[in-house]
Homo-oligomer: A and B are copies of this chain.
């Protein structure tokens, strides 16, 4: 990575784009929430869910809008109802590392010292449930399972972070892209609907530049590497935002470094 590499910031206005996504959930009531089972909310049973209902507020943001910035006070935590957010850290000269994409059902708000250690920006239309951290944590006493669940989420994220360190530190460009596509396929399966049919086109909601910043590459290398995977018959690129995995096992071998 050359240090004088620089990136465009995301200035100007959010502009809606028609990236196909999971249908937008508009969820007035926790009790009727379709994705409740996939979030920490599931630890509260039907009679208890009003506790959450009382402190939740729904929010909606557009692509390129920033939910919070690195260093901001982490007063709130969120569940993603629909859409995609990117989490990232910046260096002073604009180099960017995306530390994660988060999707429907994901939790956002693990934060150590009361401030966010990364920024969060919408990559599509996003709707979220916002909770005051303070009020949520107050429920820990009455509902200890809530805290267990958060510990479980943190633990899973830590495991994913370690995988990503292996990817960033030791994988080649092809291996990075193969790993990325496979995890995207896994994650893009509708919440809980078992595995994504691997022969279906995968929606790729983020830009090439976002992918590059997630994998520690440049846009050009991402594009070139995808083209190569296409030429070798591992994937089919319908358009920039729809990719089919043609040979899943072969791609897995690449991803794992065989």
Contact = CB atoms under 8 A, between A and B. Distances in A.
Contacts of A213: 169-170
Contact of A144 (B99, B117, B140, B165): B140
Interface in A85-117: 89, 91-93, 95-97, 99, 110-113, 117
Q: How many copies does the complex hold?
A: 2
B154 A158 contact: yes
Given A1-B172, A89-B162, A112 B216 contact: no
A30 to B, nearest CB: 23
B112 A155 contact: yes
A168 B140 CA distance: 36
Interface stretch (A40-48, A122-130, A145-153, A240-248): A145-153
Contacts of A166: 89, 91, 97, 99
A215 interface: yes
A172 B4 CA distance: 10
Contact of A169 (B97, B159, B170): B97
B162 A162 contact: no
Contacts of A158: 110, 112, 154, 157-158, 161
A159 B3 contact: no
A256 interface: yes
A186 interface: no
A78 interface: no
Interface in A230-258: 256-258
Contact of A3 (B118, B147, B154, B175): B175
Contact of A155 (B110, B148, B216): B110
Nearest to A156: B112
**4 cross-chain pairs, A with B, having the tightest CB-CB distances, nearest first:** A169-B216, A161-B161, A168-B168, A91-B257
